[in-house]
Amino acid sequence: MIRVVLPVHLRTLARVEGEARVEVETPVTLGSVLDALEERYPVLRGAIRDHGTLCRRPFVRFFACEKDLSHEPPEFLLPGPVAEGAEPLLIVGAMAGG
């Protein structure tokens, strides 16, 4: 079970209380977790990654185990603690000034 922490606006949109949880087969990659998340919560399609290109939206960041994974490719293997469900993948709305 992979744990995913969504930003508040996406929790509201997807009607998720607390953390989202998705089942992903090994190997657990950044792309496979996002695919599973969008499968479980279709309203998140286009809100994290662009429709079509599946590129990360500019003001969305991916953090895990105190590392910024935002620039990693979809096939990037998530750290062991995330794959084992001990730590969450954080999806974060970037700070944008103000």
- Closer by beta carbon to another protein, 65 or else 70: 70
| Min dist. Cβ of residue 60 to another protein (A) | 6
Cα 66 to chain centroid, rounded: 15
- Closer by beta carbon to another protein, 31 or else 93: 93
**Is 54 one of the binding residues for another protein (CB under 8 A)?**
no
Binding segment (CB under 8 A) for another protein, from list 27-35, 41-49, 63-71, 80-88: 41-49
Going across the sheet that includes 60-64, the strands are: 20-22, 2-5, 89-93, 60-64, 67-68
**Is 68 one of the binding residues for another protein (CB under 8 A)?**
no
Question: Is 27 within 8 Å of 8 (Cβ atoms)?
Answer: no
